[in-house]
Amino acid sequence: MSAFTETAFLKKLAELNSSQQSIQTLSLWLIHHRKHHASIVRTWLRELFNAPEPKKLTFMYLANDVIQNSKKKGPEYGKEYMNALPKAFAHIGETCKAEKLFGSLGRILNIWEERGVYEPKVIEDYRTRLNNKRAEADHKNASTTPPLNDVDERRESKRKHEDGKHRSKKSRTSPTHHEEKHASNVLEHNGDGDESPYVPQGEAPEPEDLIKALISIENSASSDAVVRERIANLPPEISEVSCLSKLEDKEDAQNLAKQVNEAVELLNDYNARLAAEMEERTKLTVMLRDFQAEQKELLAQAEKRLEEFKKKRDKILAVQREIRDHLSNLPDLTQLPDVTGGLAPLPSAGDLFNIH
């Protein structure tokens, strides 16, 4: 992975786009160079201020990815961004107007709150800065708007009425909190069907935790053959109303009531176990998805490193072949004739200064 310099970071920010691959690639590079976290976050904030409105959202998604995916490596980015985000949210609230941008940032804050990325009071401060600055900007724009004439007022009233109907219809068809939480783990969609930038999945579980969850599922209620056999062998009298007419005395009725109560208790207990199992299986599904995503990411990194090392090996082998070819073309010194020709050796230094 290339070395970190501010110039290289600025180039990567200029090339950054809203695709998942682009955000993840730069995020991994920043996490790798986390020892420069202070300089990185400072540069990120400065470039966010200078970025056009559509790209500010991409900058925020990059920060979101770095904050969430760097937690395992260390708390550096989380702490550093916590100090920079108030300025970022206030700046966006004051300078931006796109509803899609504010909706996406609201979902980011909701995800941070659900996953405990920051304390609730910190997230509430971010939300307040974003909305207050936006409200101040709207108020300022409204104060400078010229008064409407009668025709414009009727048009504006009609537009607000239609917007209200649209919002009411949208609120009736909006997803529940659970659905919104589930959807936050994939690419988000706005009301027009356009894809918003990438929101990373949850933190991948450790292999030991995943193994424990799988073992727990093996001993779940649906695999309890003993209880299932007991339920299958319950007498039909306890579930058939027509059998009540066959009761002959009070003792038979009391025995049947006792059987019914025991069956109800057995079924209630088993249903509760099944409900708990369904919840565990849902959690296991999320764990498996996050674990698989992490493994795919690690595999992609390993394959990339493998390709890099293969290229380095090929270069080394090429140099090795060149050296061998060069050596094979050098003359064999042992085959050269004796150039001294039997001449007397040169005098030594002692001989030169020897005074006779």
Q: How do the pLDDT tens digits run along the chain, 356 residues long? A: 567 889 999 999 999 998 888 898 899 899 888 899 999 999 999 999 999 998 999 999 999 999 988 887 778 899 999 999 999 999 999 998 888 888 889 999 999 988 889 999 999 999 999 887 566 655 555 554 444 444 444 445 544 554 454 444 444 444 444 434 433 443 343 333 333 344 455 566 778 888 888 888 887 888 888 888 888 888 877 777 776 767 777 777 788 788 888 888 888 988 988 888 888 888 888 888 888 888 888 888 888 889 989 999 999 999 999 999 888 888 776 766 665 555 666 777 777 777 65
Instruction: Please tell us whether the domain made up of 6-136 is placed in CATH 1.10.10.10.
Output: no
Parse the chain into domains and list their residue ranges.
Answer: 6-136, 207-328
Q: What is the dihedral of CA 124, 201, 218, 272, to 10 degrees?
A: 30
- Tell me the two tokens of residue 251: 């003792």
Determine the 3-state secondary structure of 195 from DSSP: strand
Determine the 3-state secondary structure of 135 from DSSP: helix
- The pTM score is 0.45
DSSP per-residue letters across 230-293: HHHTS-GGGT-GGGGGG--SHHHHHHHHHHHHHHHHHHHHHHHHHHHHHHHHHHHHHHHHHHHH
pLDDT on residue 19 = 87
pLDDT on residue 344 = 67
- Tell me the two tokens of residue 280: 């565990």
